[in-house]
Structure 1
Amino acid sequence: MARENSKSLRADAQRSAIAILEAAERVLSIDSAATLERIAEAAGVSRTTIHRRYSNRDALLASLAQNAHQLLTEAIASARPQSAPPLVALHQATANILIVKAKWPYSLGLDLSPDLREQVHEHVYRPCETVFRRAQETGHIRANVDLTWARLVYFALLKAAVVTHLDTHDSDATGQEGTFDAATADQTAALIIDTLFTGIGPT
């Protein structure tokens, strides 16, 4: 019984932590100067709860950035960039990234600590480099294409897709309307990959 109670308390704490981060993303996207108390209210938790978890706003912001980039890391890793066929991996990673970026735009725009910046390079940018290199090795990208430039174009297309989607899908009070569902993310990923590899001219 004690073990079950302990599991239940941990689950409650995890739900509370997620609720705080999601509320912080919504509230701070609208008002970057919002207080911890206002975020606690939006999350449906007490002031004591949020202050017990975060000593100040900087601690909350650091947690937001860490959480968002961890989700981005998991989204990319699940696409198996080192083992799946490169275009399959790129498509799946793109769809996954769109979902994360559309849900956590404020968090992903926060300044990164040196340690987190290094993690992002290792777990976000390096897998992208791997996929593009593998795509070139398998002939999906011409041998004379500069892969650094190709990745920059890809990142620009990703950003444009997220910004366009958020601009045309205003979030409701829950902050969920502006996010990508799986089907829309998949369609948008296909458009990004098609634009990147075939351009906009006639085939």
Structure 2
Amino acid sequence: MRQQLADAVDAARPESSPPFVALYQATANVLRVKISWGFAMNSAFTDPESERIYAGIVERCDELFRHLKQTGVLRPDVDPIWARRVYYAPMSEVCQDAAADDNPDTDALATQLIETLLHEVGTPTTHL
């Protein structure tokens, strides 16, 4: 399952897409994967391969958040690692709520999640 998350992040092309675009695409992709898991979303991932994959996801996301700061999407006073952690928390909540929906609008959920994040840590020009 974690490989699906890694693939979702990779598909956003965070190393070559504009950071804001990559953030939106990664968010929408990850929401689709996590929501499709349903009941398995909270399963423990304790095997070494799963942990390695997850560490890679976090590393890629940290790099994306550093790019968001470098390009002015995040305020200069915001720690990008802290912003990534803030971003992860509502992502989990959104996925749990949306898993009960038969046909969740992941694009709308991604937009709402990013708007919420940027309202708190973004610069005024980065709101959707």
TM-score bracket, normalised by the shorter chain, equals 0.7 to 0.9
SS at match of 1:132: helix
Q: Deviations over 1:51-76 (max 9, x none)?
A: xxxxxxxxxxxxxxxxx112111111
Give me the TM-score of the superposition, normalised by structure 1. 0.55
Give me the TM-score of the superposition, normalised by structure 2. 0.85
Q: Does 1:190 align with 2:111?
A: yes
Q: What CA distance in whole angstroms lies between the structure 2 residues aligned with 1:165 and 1:117?
A: 25
Indicate which of 138, 150, 158 corresponds to 2:91. 158
Q: Unmatched 5+ residue regions in structure 2?
A: none
Larger radius of gyration: 1
SS at match of 2:53: helix
Q: Does 1:85 align with 2:15?
A: no
Q: What CA distance in whole angstroms lies between the structure 2 residues aligned with 1:78 and 1:115?
A: 20
Q: How does 1:55-94 map to 2 (within 5 A)?
A: 68-94=1-27
Q: How does 1:165-180 map to 2 (within 5 A)?
A: 165-167=98-100, 169=101, 177=102, 180=104
Indicate which of 127, 131, 135 corresponds to 2:60. 127
Equivalent position of 1:4 in the other structure: none
Q: Does 1:117 align with 2:38?
A: no
SS at match of 1:104: helix
Shift of 1:113: 0.6
The percentage of aligned residue pairs carrying the same residue is 34
Q: Once superposed, which parts of structure 1, at least 4 consecutive aligned residues long, lie more than 6 Å away?
A: none
Q: Unmatched 5+ residue regions in structure 1?
A: 1-67, 170-176
Higher RCO (C-alpha under 8 Å, 6+ residues apart)? 2
